[in-house]
Structure 1
Amino acid sequence: MSTGRAEMRVLFAAPDHLWDDWSSAMGQVAPEVTLVREGAPDSIDAILFAPGGEIEDLSPYVNARLVQSMWAGVERIVTNPTLTQPLARMVDPSLTQSMAEYCTGWTMRAHLGMDIYRQDGTWRNGTVPPLASDRPVTILGLGELGRAVGRMLSGIGFSVRGVSRAGRDAPGVEGIALDRLHDALASAQVLISLLPDTEGTRNLLNARALSLLPRGAWIINPGRGTVIDHEALIAALDDGHIGHAVLDVFRTEPLPEDHPFWSHPKVTVTPHIAAETRAETAAVIVAENLRRAMAGEPIHNLVDRQRGY
């Protein structure tokens, strides 16, 4: 049956365990797409890419009109010297929703002081948390994910500020320009990092930056592990300046068994599960971008190579 759309051959350059879900999802939403694991390079119209697949050299695919990342983060591909095709990052509504839920859940744990109430027979009624409106939250990074987190948190009453390069406001979020980062940190009782991994963000949360946070502040990092200076964070946790750190991303993954984060009483490690691309919803986004690429139309979520995101 004809779909009225141009036929496309798309190379699946991703780990094998993702094939079944993606081939099924793409078949449902884009019947004009033939998803293949191999083929003559000059026959490939586009590439669906995730780190960990067998194909890293993209230079033979001279006719590919798009490389569509299956991840929101693109640091593992944007620096690939063989990448000459347009690159789009993934903006999956399910990924966005799950990230907002993750950040909201851990923010509520910090806000309500849930860890105080150990079930040990002690009646601890001496501490009453403030209302959410009196608990300032700062989000580092106001892209698609940061805006979604801000909407959810402000929707339940939190006072939310968001740091971005331009400092523009977002729904429910007061925008702060990156050059005013230290001002934004000074009021952040909960700090959420959703920054990408770039030269400008690595070790951004160093000893100096951490010292500007209010004493007892919580840090939630489901963005990129390179943003935080690990040694500085451990020092700030040890001296009590930082109250707790919830970490979902790390410089080395899986996090080594002997890493001090595992045993630190003020650190919660989650194994990079804050947000996952879900094929059934992401395939709709991919199909639209593939059709745009074939038609010569503007591609959604195109990566700026110089900025790295």
Structure 2
Amino acid sequence: MSIIIVSKGKELEPWVEALKEKRPDLDLRIHPDTGNHQDVAFALAWNHPIGAFQEYPNLKCISSMGAGVDHILKDPNIPEQVTVTRIIDENLTQDMGEFVAAQVLSYTRTLQEYKAQQAEQTWQPLPYKRAKEVRVGVMGLGKLGAHVAKVLTALGFQVSGWAKSEKKLDEVAVYTGQEAFDGFLAEAEVLVCLLPLTEETKGILNKDTLAKLPQGAYVINVARGEHVVEEDLLEMLDKGHLSGAALDVFEQEPLPQGHPFWKHPRVFVTPHMASKTDPASVVPQVLENYDRLKSGKPLQNIVSSQKGY
């Protein structure tokens, strides 16, 4: 039974090396040079060409090469018999917690303002906010969101979270469902988006939503670029309703040259690097599902096509 890697734009050599190191005799193929399509039952995917999986009549499982699966589920031609799975990795989780904490602290301790002052050779101490004085709202309380909330709580921030279904987290005020959304937003001086990308969450950071945040709120998006209506975010920044935004993900990546985000004084841009999958770390769970598929055992980390995560 073959494994095929189907990806556009991702460096594949580390994946091939990690898979071969763990399983030297693995029948591993790279799309589109795949040999007999009948042999392929398991696929590793990231931003695959739409419709590519229809080429493999015996395909049974598509594993995302990362935590997100929206890049797979947006393909309307996924064969009905295929199960989609995702990666759950402690390194990814730890990296995301560290990155978001760094962004929140950069905001509360005015570090970006000091960088601007340094360029102008200006010596001017600025007021800052203590963690206990700031409420951070985390949108999405899955594996990553729950960990981020835990990290921020440990740093002394007041933390609230919003989720579609009921969650319980120590020292975190959890808001559940659409009826609680406005109340959640009204308290979030810093808003962190860690939602999965679904039809319901696409464009959720829009003018109406952002207007419900407190005056001067700060927005951090580390989920997907499609969560943000870019024109609305720019408008709310320019109006002064938002004090700034830290953006790690964008509707078009790489962010195009000349895009307003690049030079906006209140936008901090990073190139989709808040957390990155380490193939050596996640290959064991990929091979675990491969072995389970071969032996007819239930797969792990299955994604619901209805929920989108």
**1:58-77 alignment runs, 5 A limit:** 58-77=53-72
2:266 matched residue in structure 1: 266
Structure 2 residue 45 is the aligned partner of structure 1 residue 46? no
Give how far 1:152 is off: 1.4
2:208 matched residue in structure 1: 208
Structure 2 residue 81 is the aligned partner of structure 1 residue 88? no
Q: What is the CA–CA distance in structure 1 between the aligned matches of 2:50 and 2:139, rounded to whole Å?
A: 33
Change (3 A) 1:56 1:93: farther
Amino acid at match of 1:83: I
Give how far 1:121 is off: 4.0
Q: What is the CA–CA distance in structure 2 between the aligned matches of 1:258 and 1:115, rounded to whole Å?
A: 22
Tell me which of 19, 24, 47 is aligned to 1:26: 19
Amino acid at match of 2:6: A
Q: Normalising by structure 1, what TM-score?
A: 0.90
Amino acid at match of 1:109: S
Amino acid at match of 2:224: R
Q: What is the CA–CA distance in structure 1 between the aligned matches of 2:27 and 2:9, rounded to whole Å?
A: 17
1:218 matched residue in structure 2: 218
| Structure 2: unaligned runs, 5 residues or longer | none
8 Å Cα contact 2:41/2:59 also seen in 1 = yes
8 Å Cα contact 1:164/1:175 also seen in 2 = yes
User: Secondary structure in 1 aligned to 2:191?
Assistant: strand
The C-alpha deviation readout for 1:15-70, integer Å capped at 9, x for no partner, is 48633211221123345632222121111131111115x68421232322211111
| Structure 1: unaligned runs, 5 residues or longer | 1-7
User: Secondary structure in 2 aligned to 1:191?
Assistant: strand
Tell me which of 91, 103, 108 is aligned to 2:105: 108
Q: What is the CA–CA distance in structure 2 between the aligned matches of 1:24 and 1:55, rounded to whole Å?
A: 26
Change (3 A) 1:206 1:55: closer
User: Secondary structure in 2 aligned to 1:59?
Assistant: helix
Give how far 1:83 is off: 1.3
8 Å Cα contact 2:45/2:65 also seen in 1 = yes
1:5 matched residue in structure 2: none
Give how far 1:272 is off: 1.2
2:163 matched residue in structure 1: 164
8 Å Cα contact 2:134/2:189 also seen in 1 = yes
Structure 2 residue 2 is the aligned partner of structure 1 residue 9? yes
User: Secondary structure in 2 aligned to 1:28?
Assistant: helix
2:306 matched residue in structure 1: 306
Query: Comparing 60-69 with 253-262, which one deviates more in the overlay?
Result: 60-69
1:235 matched residue in structure 2: 235
Report the aligned-residue RMSD.
2.0
1:185 matched residue in structure 2: 185
Poorly superposed stretches of 4+, deviation over 6 Å: none
User: Secondary structure in 2 aligned to 1:197?
Assistant: coil
Amino acid at match of 1:18: E
Structure 2 residue 175 is the aligned partner of structure 1 residue 176? yes
Q: What is the CA–CA distance in structure 1 between the aligned matches of 2:234 and 2:122, rounded to whole Å?
A: 31
Count of equivalent residues? 299
Amino acid at match of 1:293: L
Give how far 1:284 is off: 1.7
1:4 matched residue in structure 2: none
The C-alpha deviation readout for 1:158-200, integer Å capped at 9, x for no partner, is 2211111113123453321131111111111111001122111
Change (3 A) 1:245 1:289: same
Change (3 A) 1:177 1:124: same
Q: What is the CA–CA distance in structure 2 between the aligned matches of 1:163 and 1:135, rounded to whole Å?
A: 17
Q: What is the CA–CA distance in structure 1 between the aligned matches of 2:25 and 2:170, rounded to whole Å?
A: 37
User: Secondary structure in 1 aligned to 2:282?
Assistant: helix
1:3 matched residue in structure 2: none
8 Å Cα contact 2:51/2:78 also seen in 1 = no
8 Å Cα contact 1:150/1:172 also seen in 2 = no
Q: What is the CA–CA distance in structure 2 between the aligned matches of 1:57 and 1:94, rounded to whole Å?
A: 30
User: Secondary structure in 2 aligned to 1:238?
Assistant: helix
